[in-house]
Structure 1
Amino acid sequence: MKFLTGALRRTFSPAPRKAGAKVVSGRLAQALSALLGTALALTALPASAHVLQCVPYAREQSGISIHGDARTWWKQAAGTYARGGEPEVGAVMAMAPSHDMPLGHVAVVSKVVDTRHVLLNHANWSRPGMIERGVLAEDVSDAGDWSEVRIWFAPIGALGSRHNPVYGFIYPEAPHAEAAPALELASADTASRVATATM
């Protein structure tokens, strides 16, 4: 900034009388051009320099290959990834949208501290694009079922006061095969015995 101030001062200083008005206008044009070039260089970003969002970070950290807004992850995971209500290391906490968080949020569990506390790795929470590792999340739901959490908020150096709704946890493995209901197993077994007896 000191350089720019000095350059502008030299540029706008009165020109020598013998140089005439053309020298002054030439200096002014150079100064404005330099100033504009500097401003553009400071504000222009390459197309790839976007603010890191929570979704690509969670996808990379967890290996869960889901795309789209965080609010869609819970439904998209159905049938492809195991889902549940208990935190596990490597699972993605899928937060539901709310007034303050219309696109939802996803974060990866890095450590289960106890039944009400986990550490998370996530991006774009405390500041745009900021990656945070090992930040505290607390289950504040009345039932202790992880349906509402408070999360560490760096600007205040403490857990945020907002209660954030949570769908649940998406685990990186495929869903477990659900056992067929006992009634279906019994009727299939009975049908098999009846078919064998009539042959």
Structure 2
Amino acid sequence: MKRTLAAFALSSLAVPALADDAADFSADSLAAPGDGVELAPFLQCAPYARQVSGIQIYGDAHTWWGQAQGRYATGNAPKVGAVMAFRPHRGMELGHVAAVSQIVDPRRVLLDHANWSPIDGRRGQIEKGAMAVDVSPSNDWSEVRVWYAPLGKVGTTVWPVEGFIYSDRSSQPRATVATAPARKQTSKGFLAAFAEFQ
């Protein structure tokens, strides 16, 4: 019964498609309440992106790009503090939003986001410093590949991106979200990911 409920909960969430980026993940690996495991709070991507970026847009992630028009500056160049707005794609029907925390080079950035990779077998967790790589033919950030924790590297799925929504916040410290952070990526994992794209 617990596994059935966990599987139902997983299927009802707006999350990245599991096809290419989670070959080793299944609903059976989820920890269910009552298994003696204390679970971290579940977070959706939109409230987390809003809190860390200061961009005051509400609603499903796929609506953020349209809502931003005329309210916030938008574009196709990453900037620290901007929100990367993903288009719905495959199983990710509601889109995704993630805050840019660092620009590594013209084709790689680090993202802070929630509800992307399952962490310890559970979705809805925060990842900080997750690499995203521009793989668009025109180098315009319209297509990216993103770090996927179960693989321990940048995933194989190419995700379509609308663009970046720029925060009107001027160099203010980032808000802290009261929740358990996702397991940190190891420097070994980052080095392998960097080497793959050099």
Q: Does 1:132 align with 2:143?
A: no
| RMSD of aligned alpha carbons | 1.6
Which structure's CA Rg is the greater one? 1
How does 1:12-161 map onto structure 2 within 5 Å? 42=34, 51-127=42-118, 128-161=123-156
- 1 or 2 for the larger relative contact order (CA 8 Å, sep ≥6)? 2
Q: Deviation per CA, 1:68-97, whole angstroms, max 9, x where unpaired?
A: 110000000011111000000000000000
Name 2:4's counterpart in structure 1. Answer: none
Task: Give structure 1 regions of 4+ aligned residues with deviation exceeding 2 angstroms.
Answer: none
| Paired residue type of 1:168 | G
In the TM superposition, residue 50 of structure 1 has moved relative to its aligned partner by: 6.3
| Paired residue type of 2:64 | W
Aligned length: 129
SS state of the match for residue 101, structure 2? strand
TM-score, normalisation: structure 1: 0.62
**1: CA distance, partners of 2:135 / 2:154:** 11
Task: Indicate the structure with greater helix content.
Answer: 1
Q: Deviation per CA, 1:86-139, whole angstroms, max 9, x where unpaired?
A: 000000000000112111000000001111000000000002111000110000
**2: CA distance, partners of 1:112 / 1:160:** 19
Q: Deviation per CA, 1:130-161, whole angstroms, max 9, x where unpaired?
A: 10001100000000000000000000100110
**2: CA distance, partners of 1:153 / 1:80:** 32
Identical pairs, percent: 59
SS state of the match for residue 46, structure 2? helix
**2: CA distance, partners of 1:50 / 1:62:** 20
TM-score, normalisation: structure 2: 0.63
Name 2:163's counterpart in structure 1. Answer: 168
Maintained 8 Å contact 2:41/2:125: no
**1: CA distance, partners of 2:163 / 2:87:** 9
Q: Deviation per CA, 1:20-41, whole angstroms, max 9, x where unpaired?
A: xxxxxxxxxxxxxxxxxxxxx8
**2: CA distance, partners of 1:89 / 1:122:** 13
**2: CA distance, partners of 1:122 / 1:173:** 19
Name 1:12's counterpart in structure 2. Answer: none
